[in-house]
Structure 1
Amino acid sequence: MKIEWALNHMPVVASLMNNCKKEKPFEGITISAVLHVTKETAVLVKALKECGARVLLAGSNPLSTQDDVAAALAKDGIEVYAWKGETEEEYFWAIRKIIEDGNPDIVIDDGGDLHVTIHKEYPQLAEKIIGGTEETTTGVIRLKAMEKDGVLKYPVIAVNDALTKFMFDNRYGTGQSTIDGILRATNVLIAGKKVVVAGYGWCGRGIAMRMRGMGARVIVTEVDPLRALEAVHDGFDVMPMDDAAKVGDIFVTATGNINVIRKEHFLKMKNGAILANAGHFNVEIDVKSLEALAVSKRRIRPYVDEYKLPDGRKIYLLAEGRLVNLVAAEGHPSEVMDMSFANQFLSVKYLIENKGKLEPKVYKVPHEIDSEVARRKLNAMGIKIDTLTEEQKRYLESW
């Protein structure tokens, strides 16, 4: 039922699936994917299967898998190796399983662990892979580093960098679902709270915007002067984390970097401060330092751990420092994942159609794919737009 609900709210992916059911462009192609196993992901992998692919799926976070969705996909012929609450060892076992059992032609990743594992442990397999895609900012950063170091062995399309992905998924999806996760975990009132958002990329923008919409007084911390300046002009207070730590009630990290909130910040926080992470990996909040500082730790609600410091102050960590929107809630709404996963679907199709023509580099999503996704989404929403006249086209092409 959850998958059916998602499909009903993902008209772009549904239309792509219906268009290619007969021609089956992915016939004979094996796809290994590491994604958050949610109802929206189920729609994507079912679409790939309906269009001819063999699909193997592992989770991209030990705590984000929806077990009922994984079970439903397994019954439907998807080879799923994911369950909620995996250990780190089990998490990487599942990734190796979909590599070894699949011997994939195409790889789809969210975070970069699949790409990195293939390159480090299965270099011969990497040589025969047609190409891959990457769903999130963290993974794209890692892949660009691999390209820079000259170790990337196949072309990868940075789906995260598609306009119809990051401007909507990262901003509106992360903005809404992060608050959803915080509220489900804590049920605190957002209005009147001082919320510190670390990072003003597209995810940070979305979180800050939505927090303000719920009545929070938002503070942004940044290392990039341009983004900091933008946050100021968007009406937010901007200050270093050292200063924000003293006044914040709720802290949300969304940077893709390590130890953004660390020991010196914990020591300055108010009693009752709440910490949440919206970045892909559980490295943005220095949990090890918090564990070392605390004299006691206890779980007081699902996904809420209380750390008591030597002076009696209490700090509350949500979702063990992992993605709060996918651990404590359901992740992004189906409507926004519709565009992200339409980009995934069309990027896989593009890689297959251009087999052997692309160098082992990180590529942007082709503009025609971005435009096609936007057109299909507008059509599904019943929205029409203008088109250029021939005279207008000639005018824009002239100098």
Structure 2
Amino acid sequence: ACAVLAVNEARTERTFNDRYGTGQSALDGILRATNLLVAGKVIVVLGYGTTGQGIALRARGAGANVVVCEVDPLRALEARMDGYEVMPASRAAERGDVFISVTGGRDVLRKEHFKRMKDGALLANAGHFDVEIALDDLRAAATGGVEQVLPLVEQYDLGDRRVNLLARGRVVNLAAAEGHPAEVMDISFALQALSAAWMAGQEKPLPPGVLPVPSEIDREVARLKLDALGVKIDSLSRRQQRYLRSWA
């Protein structure tokens, strides 16, 4: 057994890689694969974690009407307070033009949803592997067959309607685009490098198991990124620090 740092759970990773990285690159993949006009479309985001928040934000910025589907009441309430419509996936299935699953789970979009979707609906996965969209259900529903209409778009003929699957249900920002921009990846790589250096520099062996990234590493990564961007920020005076410590 050995110690492992959960870099993927670090604050900088969740905030910048997930919200800003995937938030942009997922839409980039969809646009590259389809040449879709986002403005005026109803985009259904399934899952409102940090990645779903980023996708919803970018979609709204491009003029889409965003609907959020969630199973967590806190996340659902957050989405509502952020100004999005929130509803069950069964209702959203009837309204959406584009569906982006980003839950980390499986079978998020399945048979009962496909039956309700409008003609021409687009399905994309920006979550985990190729299991978020129930592909077996989609194939079974395609009584009219499947046609490759674009290099990364398969059209499933459901008889009275057609549903379009992007990148065979694989992670769309990787399969249909180039992943995150370098300006985001450098944050992830810095986090990994500093975490590895911290582990190597420990005088005593770390306890076996999955450990959180120390908060000082998160802050150092953020400081380094700000320096690279030429951004300066304020600092607390000693008096301010003492006051904060007095009640924190």
TM range (shorter): over 0.9
Shift of 1:250: 0.2
Give the match for residue 89 of structure 1.
none
Q: 2:87 matched to which residue of 1?
A: 239
Residue 264 (structure 1) aligns with: 112
Return 5+ residue gaps in structure 2 as ranges: none
Which of 34, 39, 49 aligns to 1:191? It is 39
Task: Confirm or deny that 1:303 pairs with 2:188.
Answer: no
Question: Does 2:244 correspond to 1:396?
Answer: yes
Give me the CA root mean square deviation: 1.2
- Aligned residue pairs total 246
1:360, 1:197 → 2: CA distance? 38
Aligned twin of 2:222:
374
Q: Is residue 18 of structure 2 the alignment partner of residue 170 of structure 1?
A: yes
Equivalent in 178, 188, 202 of residue 50 of structure 2: 202
Equivalent AA in structure 1 for residue 163 of structure 2: I
Are residue 329 (structure 1) and residue 186 (structure 2) matched? no
- 1:352 shift after superposition: 2.0
1:356 shift after superposition:
5.9
Equivalent of 2:190, from 329, 338, 342? 342
Contact between 2:45 and 2:68, CA under 8 Å: does it hold in 1?
yes
Alignment of 1:1-399 (within 5 A): 153-295=1-143, 296-309=145-158, 311-354=159-202, 357-399=205-247
Q: Is the 8 A contact 2:105 2:128 kept in 1?
A: no
Structure 1 SS opposite 2:207: coil
CA distance in 1, matches of 2:244, 2:35: 53
* Cα displacement (A) at 1:261: 0.3
CA drift of 1:302 comes to 1.3
Equivalent position amino acid for 1:298 in 2: E
Q: SS of the counterpart of 1:229?
A: helix
Structure 1 residue runs of 4 or more that deviate by more than 6 Å after TM superposition: none
How far apart, in 2, do the equivalents of 1:245 and 1:273 lie? Answer: 9
SS at structure 1 position matched to 2:146: strand
The code of the aligned residue for 1:215 comes to: G
- For residues 217-248 of structure 1, give each alpha carbon's deviation from its aligned partner in whole angstroms, at most 9, with x where no partner exists: 00000000000000000000000000000111
Separation in 1, partners of 2:180, 2:203:
32
More divergent stretch after superposition (248-257 vs 335-344): 335-344
Which stretches in structure 1 are left out of the alignment for 5+ residues? 1-152
Residue 232 of structure 1: SS of its match in structure 2? helix
SS of corresponding position for 1:231 = helix
Deviation at 1:360, TM superposition (A): 2.3
| More displaced 10-residue stretch of structure 1: 218-227 or 354-363 | 354-363
Measured in 1, the distance between the counterparts of 2:79 and 2:203 equals: 42
2:148 aligned counterpart, secondary structure: strand
* Shift in Å, 1:182: 0.2
Percent identity over the alignment is: 58
Distance verdict in 2 for CA 1:355–1:284, change over 3 Å = farther
Rounded Cα–Cα distance in structure 2 between residues aligned with 1:267 and 1:291:
12
CA distance in 2: counterparts of 1:359 and 1:384, whole angstroms: 37
- Deviation per residue, 1:15-58 (Å, 9 max, x gap): xxxxxxxxxxxxxxxxxxxxxxxxxxxxxxxxxxxxxxxxxxxx
Q: C-alpha separation between the residues in 2 aligned to 1:397 and 1:235? A: 36
Which region of structure 1 is more displaced relative to structure 2, 381-390 or 244-253?
381-390
Q: Secondary structure at the match of 1:388?
A: coil
2:156 partner letter: Y
Deviation at 1:275, TM superposition (A): 0.1
Instruction: Give the aligned residue type for 1:289.
Output: D
Q: CA deviation at 1:350?
A: 1.9
Q: Measure, in 1, the Cα distance between the counterparts of 2:142 and 2:44.
A: 22
Distance 1:262 1:354 in 2: 48
Shift of 1:355: 7.5
